[in-house]
Amino acid sequence: MTGREEIAQRMDADGIRFLLTQFVDLNGSPKAKMVPVEHFEDVLDEGAGFGGAALIGMGQGPHSHDMMARIDLDSYTPVPWDEGLARFASDLFVDGEPHPYCPRQHFKSLLNSARAEGYVFNVGIEP
């Protein structure tokens, strides 16, 4: 697992000025919010806020609390097509709790259940 200080140093060395906090909706369509790198700690701890009612199928209405997209440090990727821009995959939260329809949260839950049953996942890594 990558630490916040390590990522902050890598972003500084890579000349990153903006972050894309990317998530997917229930249909798998990518969505993103661009945030200045000065707010790295904010999107890591709290998340990048957006109106969940704008996403079809997320169970949010105009009266609902904002959703927050919290970045996953292990997904840090400087994008090759725009200097100074990096992308992070994000998990969705509402009121500080994981959103029940967040595809990444659901996938993590399935993987954890499979691991608890004894399944081992090796993705090109030698044991």
Q: Structure pTM?
A: 0.74
Q: In which residue ranges of the chain is pLDDT below 50?
A: none
Distance (Å, whole) CA 51 – CA 121: 35
Q: List beta partners, residue 23.
A: 31
pLDDT at position 76: 95
pLDDT at position 14: 97
Going by C-alpha positions, the residue among 34, 1, 42 that lies closest to residue 18 is 34
pLDDT at position 90: 86
CATH, range 4-116: 3.10.20.70
Residues composing the chain: 127
- Read off the DSSP letter of residue 54: G
pLDDT at position 52: 64
pLDDT at position 63: 64
pLDDT at position 56: 64
8: left (phi over 0), alpha (psi -120 to 50) or beta: alpha
pLDDT at position 57: 61
Cα three-residue angle 2-3-4, rounded to 5 degrees: 130
